[in-house]
Structure 1
């Protein structure tokens, strides 16, 4: 099965060669790496050119049209304009374990016998900038049901593999990318509704943390939640982006969710309009926010009940 590895880069010269080399070293041979640069001003394009010139399995996707379009558009353009049996996403600064591709291909084959739309994702080993292990990213905190994905994501893009069957269901040509919070979360949300999510407990990647990317590895601990509680404006903006993405899902896939999934989708998307305190209270009582931890559920409920006016104001500014 052919695997298209999709990488988006931006000023990643410091770690890019190590990441590309870890892909070249994969035990699974039938892959092709497509790299789209998102407007780098450092030596990133030179590095991409160097590897593309010496390895026919590597393509500088936009060599003659380098411009910044944002990470979501960059990855989804790569996905739209490449062809393979399977697709993976790659960051520019991690290191892949040698068996990363082969493990994902094996899981896709063995756990998706019906060839339905599917997404494989794996555990991550979080490391510092020198690749010294810090902790496991998920450590068992994962979910597979649609309501949970309306409120949060546990599928990290750099661990994902999706099949062609799922790609054809994503409606990429109809999607308003401005409403997509993160491309990996969007794909996981769709998969939880119409396909199959497959998890590999083994870490397949060294997920490097350095000054520019620590957001992706934050732990949902008491300190983090306390900090979030003191900076509610950013929480309001994040909630708005989440509900706008849910609204985009509703527009494109409403007919493919039923029962409690539809109740959750319709109920929380309504928060983008005018919604009284009583109706908001009824909503979180009958359909409580799906967060793994009580602290997260309480914070989310507080935001909906007590910060709704500011949230509505943010929506008007956003639109």
Structure 2
């Protein structure tokens, strides 16, 4: 019997994208999964669309929050309900390639690893391919991750039997980066599946598209999560920006 994968998907007003996201999970060659969708008080048709899928597929599980609590809170709520051996993340506007889970589970087993991720391609808001492939160092070390989040949230998968369920405060921004840092602190290096296995949707209104917000949230990772003092956090942030502007672009290729 193949191991169950729990896919965590927070949703908020995602009616434009959620259909393609869920279909990309249903189209997986690896079929033993549960998709836990936590709706963060959407005001559009998101819930209605998810319900249609859930009626025809009992692996799709919808839970609704009474009031809007934010992505981090919704993700934690999904994690609480997860029963799989593996945890995988998929945001409500991203899309997996059909072989994604199969290749990653195989990779974990063959290499006796407990965490992996992959490269990914980028699409725009309308779903057009931007011919941009985002790679990462291979292997990825804790130090490299410390100065730049090379792990695409939509590509990560970890073994709950090994790490337990990794929860972080819901209020913290850059929650995903903090999770990978927690994992790499334990295992020192991680190997990606060295190919694109997902499409990341770049949206105009997303946090990652607002440079100023991003600097603030990343600074918070050094200041609050790692607990460094203000001056040292500023110095680390300068190194982070150098990595972001000079080193990371080397890992962005034409797909």
Q: Which residue of 2 aligns with 1:154?
A: 150
**Following TM superposition, by how much is the alpha carbon of 1:169 offset from its aligned partner in structure 2, in angstroms?**
6.5
**For the residues of structure 2 that align with 1:4 and 1:202, how far apart are their CA atoms?**
22
Provide the alpha-carbon RMSD of the alignment.
3.0
> Which residue number in structure 1 is paired with residue 220 of structure 2?
240
Q: What is the 5 A alignment of 1:30-49?
A: 30-49=32-51
Matched, 1:125 2:125: no
- Asked if 1:5 corresponds to 2:1, the answer is no
Aligned residue pair count: 242
1:134 offset after TM fit, Å?
A: 1.5
Higher relative contact order (CA 8 A, sep 6+): 2
Summarize the Cα distance change of 1:143–1:182 in structure 2 as closer, same or farther, 3 Å threshold. farther
Is residue 2:180 matched to residue 1:185? no
Report what 2:77 is aligned to: 77
1:214–1:135 CA distance, 2 compared to 1 (3 A): farther
- Structure 2 distance, partners of 1:234, 1:133, is 24
1:60–1:138 CA distance, 2 compared to 1 (3 A):
same
Instruction: Give 3-state SS (helix, strand or coil) of 2:67's partner.
Output: coil
Normalised to the residue count of structure 2, the TM-score between the two structures is: 0.82
> How many Å separate the matches in 2 of 1:167 and 1:80?
15
Instruction: Name the CA shift for 1:103/1:33 in 2 (closer, same or farther; >3 Å).
Output: same
CA, structure 1 residues 168+243, in 2 after alignment: closer, same or farther (shift >3 Å)?
same
Which entry has the higher C-alpha Rg, 1 or 2? 1
Q: 2:98 aligns to what? A: 98
Query: Are residues 58 and 111 of structure 1, via their aligned partners in 2, closer, same or farther at CA, if it must alter by over 3 Å?
Result: same
- CA distance in structure 2 between the aligned counterparts of 1:105 and 1:72, rounded to whole angstroms: 25
Deviations along 1:186-219, one digit per CA (max 9) or x if unpaired, are 1110111102523012111122223333826x9x
Q: CA deviation at 1:131?
A: 2.9
Q: CA deviation at 1:137?
A: 4.2
Deviation at 1:127, TM superposition (A): 1.4
SS of the residue aligned with 2:140?
A: coil
> Is the 1:3–1:86 Cα contact (8 Å) retained in structure 2?
yes
Q: TM-score, normalised by structure 1?
A: 0.67
Distance 1:101-1:292 versus aligned 2 partners, 3 A rule = farther
Partner in structure 2 of residue 135 of structure 1: 131
* Structure 2 partner of 1:18: 20
Q: Find the aligned partners of 1:140 and 1:152 in 2 and give their Cα distance.
A: 10
